[in-house]
């Protein structure tokens, strides 16, 4: 008997993969894009933002749009921002000769470089042209030429700038924000500004002194609805040939706090562990595998934190609270002075590691990171 294929993914979902309950968001965001609205799409890490916007762009492409996707994670300079925009243009157009030639004609600050890759395909990079501008001037030329290119395709363009908040780390961050804003507001097409460091991203669009103030619609991507996630998990296990009860599917949803990425990954491990049907007894083993698989990521997060920040993070993981600055809480968790806690909290919040809910309760954002912190803590 041929073994069934595991139906779950724990990387970015391929466009053809089943998509759990994002139909409303998909419809709304597609309408916004067609209406030329600019959107700030935000959520915690690994909530499926990238998969969602790529599904939106797939729908737009089917309707004749040219869809540009630029990932700004780790962007190193303003020149790099400009280069990533140019690469996004050439990547999406190089398979359509007439559009590609338009792109080459209008995007004059960069030229595409096509090279064969080991798998028989083509890899694309960009290089600046001989009459080179740098920094703000280069970015400005790129944005002007992008607007001209859009006119040549009758404005049927859509741009995703993923991890957009990364530009605040650049040396000339405010100048970069200002130039982007001044040109984007004149472009007759929609931009999606996507990011996971929610506090940083939202401050860019909601603080009065920032260039992007009130220039886009805030759109939060929430955790998956309980009933929809349960139904999705049941269907996926059935598709893989290993039936899963509603009760077990509900347990999976609760274990990961309805987090899209972790729901997929926990289900992947559970599918691998179970025999002909999904067994409740394998869930704890699958959870241990999930936590262990994430350990290198979590350890890397801690390496970027100071000891006082780690101490506060562990305290919040063990003991979520509305009384973070009370003497009782600080003494109980040996957190030191109020000033030290305030400084540590500011950093953790900026990194989107902790959050405060509507009831003013502080907790760790990532449910599996929280479980790992709790398990490793000796207290």
* pLDDT tens digits, one per residue of 159-179: 999 999 999 999 999 999 999
Report residue 77's pLDDT band, with 50, 70 and 90 as the boundaries. Answer: very high
| Selected residue with higher pLDDT from 48 and 143 | 143
Q: Is the pLDDT of residue 130 over 70?
A: no
What CATH number labels 23-220? 3.40.50.300
CA-nearest of 377, 348, 353 to 364 is: 353
Q: How far apart are CA 310 and CA 300, in angstroms?
A: 12
CA distances from 200 to 43, 164, 165, 196, 210 (A): 12, 10, 6, 9, 12
What CATH number labels 304-376? 1.10.10.10
User: Of 22-26, 191-195, 296-300, 371-375, which range is least confident?
Assistant: 22-26
CB within 8 Å of 78: residues ≥ 6 apart: 135, 136, 138, 139, 170, 172, 175, 176
- In the chain, where the domains are located: 23-220, 226-297, 304-376
Region 12-21: what's the mean pLDDT? 60
CA-nearest of 229, 292, 231, 234 to 263 is: 229
Region 145-160: what's the mean pLDDT? 95
Q: Is the pLDDT of residue 282 over 60?
A: yes
Q: pTM of the predicted model, to two decimals?
A: 0.91
Q: How far apart are CA 299 and CA 295, in angstroms?
A: 6
Question: In this structure, is the dihedral angle defined by the CA atoms of residues 195, 197, 201 and 202, taken in order, positive or negative?
Answer: positive
Q: Is the pLDDT of residue 210 over 60?
A: yes
Instruction: Give me 39's structure tokens.
Output: 């959107």
Q: How far apart are CA 9 and CA 266, in angstroms?
A: 10
- CA within 13 Å, CB half, 123: 6
| Selected residue with higher pLDDT from 161 and 154 | 161
Q: What angle do CA 38, 40, 41 make, to 5 degrees?
A: 125
């Amino acid at each position: 008997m041929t073994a069934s294929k595991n139906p779950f993914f724990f990387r970015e979902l391929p466009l053809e993969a089943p998509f759990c309950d994002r139909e409303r968001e998909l419809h709304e965001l597609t309408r916004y894009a067609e209406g030329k609205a600019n959107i700030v799409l935000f959520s915690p890490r690994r909530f499926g933002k990238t998969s969602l916007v790529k599904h939106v762009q797939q729908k737009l492409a089917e309707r004749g749009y040219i869809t540009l996707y630029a990932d700004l994670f780790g962007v190193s300079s303003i020149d790099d921002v400009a280069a990533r925009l140019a690469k996004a243009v050439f990547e999406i157009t190089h398979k359509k000769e007439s559009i590609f030639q338009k792109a080459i004609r209008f995007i004059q600050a960069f030229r595409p470089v096509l090279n064969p890759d080991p798998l028989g395909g083509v890899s694309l990079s960009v290089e600046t042209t001989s009459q080179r501008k740098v920094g703000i001037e280069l970015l400005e030329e790129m944005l002007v030429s992008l607007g001209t290119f859009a006119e040549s395709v009758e404005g049927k363009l859509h741009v995703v700038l993923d991890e957009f908040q990364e530009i605040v780390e650049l040396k000339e961050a405010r100048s970069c924000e200002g130039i982007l804003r001044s040109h984007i507001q004149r472009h007759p097409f929609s931009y999606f500004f996507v990011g996971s460091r929610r506090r940083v991203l939202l401050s860019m669009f909601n603080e009065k002194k920032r260039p992007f103030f009130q220039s886009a619609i805030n759109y939060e991507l929430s955790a998956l609805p309980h009933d929809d996630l349960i139904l999705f998990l049941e269907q996926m296990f059935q598709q893989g040939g290993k039936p899963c009860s509603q009760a077990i599917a509900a347990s999976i949803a609760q274990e990961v706090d309805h987090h899209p990425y972790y729901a997929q990954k926990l289900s992947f491990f559970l599918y691998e562990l179970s025999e002909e049907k999904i067994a409740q007894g394998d869930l704890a083993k699958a959870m241990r595998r999930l936590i262990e698989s994430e350990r290198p990521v979590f350890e890397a997060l801690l390496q970027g934190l100071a000891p006082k920040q780690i101490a506060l993070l562990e305290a919040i993981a063990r003991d979520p609270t509305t009384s973070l600055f009370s003497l009782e809480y600080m003494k109980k968790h040996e957190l030191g002075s109020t000033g030290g806690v305030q400084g540590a909290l500011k950093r953790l919040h900026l990194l989107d590691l902790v959050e405060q809910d509507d009831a003013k309760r502080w907790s760790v954002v990532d449910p599996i990171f929280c479980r790992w912190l709790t398990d490793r803590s000796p207290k």
